[in-house]
Structure 1
Amino acid sequence: MVVKLDLSKHEPIPKVIHISWKTKDILQNQSPVILNGLINLKNLNPEYSFEISDDQDIEHYLKNQLGAWDYFKIKNKKIVEKVDLWRLLKIYNEGGVYVDIDRYCNIPFDQIIKKETRCILPTHGDIDFSQDLIISCKHNLLYKTAIKDNLKARFFINPRGVFHLGPPLYMKTVTKVVFGKANRRRPGKEVMESYRKALQDSPYFQTYKEDLPNNSLIFKYDKNTFQLGNGMNKVEFYQSQNIVPWNRGKDKNTLILILFIIGVTIFLFLFL
């Protein structure tokens, strides 16, 4: 296994951290999720600009970046699905670091990112490549292709569900672009180890086998420094923020289609 994506001509990874959340005041939250995550992330990396994009920012960005039809398809989708595409666009256009809000951090990037590194691809154990932590130079072909693949696989209604457009599609794109052959999630320990070794042998890539939440590229659990804050766990934190899980409810496109089908059925019943 060898890395086939050449990033040798690209500029260094920009020192900017991209965060998405429904409101920009999230750093005031005292839950352990935020105290040991975003607040640490910001404080440990003072040389990085820290950009929090709220729901309106994401909507505006997608509208400006996408063609009319691609935006129409995602306009009425849930915010989680929008963020999945938004993060790919931000990293490709601007480079830097994208981190999910529920990740912990206690290791600064200057202890992680090497001078020659242009892309870091951590893995979720031996399952797939993580898409909740993305670190890359800008204009990386990997993320240009990930955007293209996402838009190609996206329909007004996605019969395979939202999850298909997330980790499974990202895994196929990473393996296709970086290693030359697309592969599915859970390819086996031996295959994942061969991917990690190839990345480690490349001067422009880094990787790390993560075991979330307590052992990741940017966090190693330490009970002596872990902040308990208001004591909320991850589920309680999301509930306190009125966040609906991504796999619950229907997006507006689905509701529109259902109402359309009902309307046509009623029309046919009454007039034909």
Structure 2
Amino acid sequence: MASRADYLSKYLSKDDTKKPKKKSKKTTSSKENAAPILIEGLDPEDEFEPTNVNLGPATKAKKGFKRIDNGELVMNDKLDHVAAPEDEKPTTIYRDQSGKIVDLQAKRAEIKARQESEAEREKIETDRVNTGELDRVRREKESKELAKATRFDYSKDSSEYAQHISRKDRFEDPMFGRLSTTLPLQPERILDTGRPIYDKGPHPENRFKIKAGHFWDGIDRGNGFEERLVRARDLTYVKKVTDRGAKESYTEYDFE
């Protein structure tokens, strides 16, 4: 019990005397004591101009490392290597899904050739669809005649040359007035396409200059639109020619 009473007596018997508090020392601010430093010959505008700072060459310690296998110290100078030029760099190898090496230049050339051939084929097909049968036959005929005209490989033994010479009219021939080599005009019965046409009378006039077929009975069942349209176009063309001639001045020509 005595020990317990001693323990409680510490808290029951308090000392009322208060310890004085320590006063903190007042520190003078550096702003109050700081005196302005004036440097003679300093222009305040120079503070805003860019300045060049020379840091000197960058120094880096080249420490090596010790190999694990033999303990030899390898310096970084041995590791410095020069980058290989573009010619010596290895080329990138491309492969397809099966693993075969693909040459990109050859592949690009192949794709370009395929696209060009496809475009040419589409152009020919479009021209074939948009060109009529008669126009196509006439175009082939003109191309053949042009090919013949550009050649000079004829001979006297050629049947075509002999036929051309025999049909040529000669005014100095005494029999020219009695014997004519020109054939009389025959009515056209077949088109260049090989199809027969109507040959028993005049053909109906139309803007496309399409002749009537062989089985036409000769009766024009139109309402006259094609005939009026063709006549209007002819009048427009004649008016254009006459207006152009009327605007011409005879003073432009020298009659002397």
Q: Which has the larger radius of gyration?
A: 2
- Normalised by the length of structure 2, the TM-score is 0.22
Higher strand share: 1
Greater relative contact order, per chain length (Cα 8 Å cut-off, separation 6+): 1
